[in-house]
Structure 1
Amino acid sequence: MELLNDMALFVEVVKAKGFRSAADVLDMPSSTLSRRISALEKAIGLRLLHRTTRKIELTEAGRIYFERCKRIVGDARLAHEQLGTMLAEPVGVLRASFPVDFAVTYLAPLIAEFAGRYPGLSFDFDLTPRRVDLVSEPFDVAIRAGEPEVSQLIARQLASFRTYLYASPGYIKRAGEPRAPADLNHHECLGIQRGGAWTLHRGEDTTTIPVGSRFTLNSVGMARRLAALDMGIVLMAEAIVADDLATGQLRRLMPEWQGTPVPVYAMTETRLLPAKTQRFIEFLRERFE
């Protein structure tokens, strides 16, 4: 980078036909400018300028070097301008990875709103339960629920969703309504992993209850659907079951208790983000508040 800067200074000196004129354009002392060009000559091992008290002249090597510097500096400035445009305006294709159930249930209307705001953007979404590799795969961002794994990726927290207990009226009628955490031992609890446990909080009280079910699931959407079909109790974020609550297919249980909040993160490979990715992350953060 320092060499490129010195090349740009050399181009300005030649264009201005002198150190003093170039120094006025660059707003720097002419003595400093002269030292920088001398250092450049020393670094490349070529004498570029004949200096006199009144003017400068290019050496033969200087003329060749000047033409090359003009192209290099011009290309660098163009690349900088293009990068600045890319960072300022959302353009291109936004490639993102989402958890399947969270995307379908919660993100879809937000994505539709975002797409309407930026009609020049195209979208390439991958809905998968796996954690994609942002280093080796061509994704701009991955939205993940739960605490991020220790890695070199950049994690930006978007939200933290509170979780509550829900069941259908039909299930409650058949199995009874739990009144305390210990009652869950006698219920079908639709967790996402076999032999799990639910941690519940009430003010400063915390308790962890082993839970089980006839169903072993790896899908939040499937657990929610089974709960609505009278098959058991779920512990989920209200945003995920909002539609079922509105239609009466699910109702909240033990309202004084809540589960451990689930954080949602935007994961990126780098902090330097193009506008399309930056705007998307900012948009989601605003909507999640």
Structure 2
Amino acid sequence: MELLNDMVLFVEVVKAKGFRRAAEATGVPNSTLSRRIAALEKSIGLRLLHRTTRRIELTEAGLLYYERCRRIVDEARLAHEQLGEMLAQPSGVLRASLPVDFAVIYLAPMIAEFARLHPGIDFDLDLTPRRVDLVSEPFDVAVRMGVPENSQLIARPLGALTPHLYASPAYLARAGEPSAPEALARHQCLGVLKPGVWRFHGEGRQLEVAVDSRFALNSIGLAKRLATLDMGIVLMPEEIVADEVANGALRRILPGWRGTPVPVYALTETRLLPAKTQRFIEFLQQRLR
């Protein structure tokens, strides 16, 4: 690599017809240029330049060496440009780990749109609930909801989803509609894992409500489905329940209150990403924000 750099400097000096102009063109100090060319001549055992106080001239050996260097440098620059274009073009297999319900319910239309925009990309999508190891497993990116747990990974924020309260009309007719968040303690509440404590913001204050449920779930989709089957109240982002609200299966309650926003992150092992991964993350950022 050092020899190639010296060849590049030699070509620039010859093109500029002097060290001072070459220094201005390359940003390399005049003294450094002179020293590097002298070292190049020593390494190949040939004098390449006749130096005078006003100009330089190529020796016979220098002319032959210049023509060879120019071809090598031009080919190297062309290869560099072609490689840069190839790396900038999104292509190849994008291996992504996604939250199961979030991907099926909400991300699927975005993935389809992204696929139409980038026909050169194929997709290997893992929707298992386990936490994949981005260091030891061949994933390009993992999308996760909630605060990232692994500080060694690079976390890029995609957006945040604000949860609200929803229930089916039949459940509300049977159990009554809560008039305040505190009333949720007397209702069946469906949450991921054991509901425990729900935190709310609204009407200029914040509060926590201890809620209970007959169900311990690890699936947003199942919690939503049980809510449509009149089994209780869910606290979910409106993006997740949009279809159910539109068809009347669920209705928003306590509209003046909202849950704590849930951050969505893209996790990668490194900051240096291929075009396919970078474009995918940028696309999700645009859509989720």
Task: Indicate whether the TM-score tops 0.5.
Answer: yes
Could you tell me whether the CA contact under 8 Å between 2:162 and 2:238 is conserved in 1? yes
For 2:12 and 2:161, locate their aligned partners in 1 and report how far apart those are by CA, in whole Å: 62
| Correspondences of 1:1-289 after superposition (within 5 Å) | 4-10=1-7, 13=10, 21=17, 27-28=25-26, 31-38=31-38, 46=43, 48-50=45-47, 53=51, 55=58, 80-194=80-194, 196-289=196-289
Return closer, same or farther for 1:206/1:230 CA change in 2, 3 Å cut-off.
Answer: same
Deviations 1:56-77 (A, max 9, x none): 587xxxx9xxx9xx98x78975
For 1:79 and 1:223, locate their aligned partners in 2 and report how far apart those are by CA, in whole Å: 55
Letter matched to residue 127 of structure 2: L
Could you tell me whether the CA contact under 8 Å between 2:97 and 2:132 is conserved in 1? yes
Return closer, same or farther for 1:124/1:118 CA change in 2, 3 Å cut-off.
Answer: same
For 1:160 and 1:174, locate their aligned partners in 2 and report how far apart those are by CA, in whole Å: 33
For 1:78 and 1:268, locate their aligned partners in 2 and report how far apart those are by CA, in whole Å: 31
Could you tell me whether the CA contact under 8 Å between 2:167 and 2:228 is conserved in 1? yes
Return closer, same or farther for 1:47/1:184 CA change in 2, 3 Å cut-off.
Answer: same
Shift of 1:41: 8.3
Shift of 1:277: 1.6
Deviations 1:209-262 (A, max 9, x none): 111211110111110111111111110000000010001000111111110011
Return closer, same or farther for 1:78/1:148 CA change in 2, 3 Å cut-off.
Answer: farther
Deviations 1:180-201 (A, max 9, x none): 1221111111111226210011
Matched residues, number: 276
**How does the TM-score come out when normalised to structure 2?**
0.82
Could you tell me whether the CA contact under 8 Å between 2:145 and 2:265 is conserved in 1? yes
Deviations 1:78-118 (A, max 9, x none): 77435422442111111111100000000111111111111
For 1:39 and 1:225, locate their aligned partners in 2 and report how far apart those are by CA, in whole Å: 75
Could you tell me which runs of 5 or more consecutive residues in structure 1 were left unpaired when the two chains were aligned. Answer: none
Could you tell me whether the CA contact under 8 Å between 1:163 and 1:259 is conserved in 2? yes
Could you tell me whether the CA contact under 8 Å between 2:9 and 2:33 is conserved in 1? no
Q: Which secondary structure state, in structure 2, belongs to the residue aligned with residue 147 of structure 1? A: coil
Shift of 1:11: 5.7
Letter matched to residue 154 of structure 2: I
Letter matched to residue 267 of structure 1: L
For 2:242 and 2:14, locate their aligned partners in 1 and report how far apart those are by CA, in whole Å: 72
Q: Quote the sequence identity (%).
A: 59
Q: Which secondary structure state, in structure 1, belongs to the residue aligned with residue 272 of structure 2? A: coil
For 2:104 and 2:41, locate their aligned partners in 1 and report how far apart those are by CA, in whole Å: 62
Return closer, same or farther for 1:95/1:76 CA change in 2, 3 Å cut-off.
Answer: farther
Q: Which secondary structure state, in structure 1, belongs to the residue aligned with residue 260 of structure 2? A: strand
Shift of 1:6: 5.0
Q: Which is worse superposed, 81-90 or 120-129?
A: 81-90
Q: Alpha carbon RMSD of aligned pairs, Å?
A: 3.2
For 1:136 and 1:40, locate their aligned partners in 2 and report how far apart those are by CA, in whole Å: 44
Q: Which secondary structure state, in structure 2, belongs to the residue aligned with residue 104 of structure 1? A: helix
Letter matched to residue 6 of structure 2: L
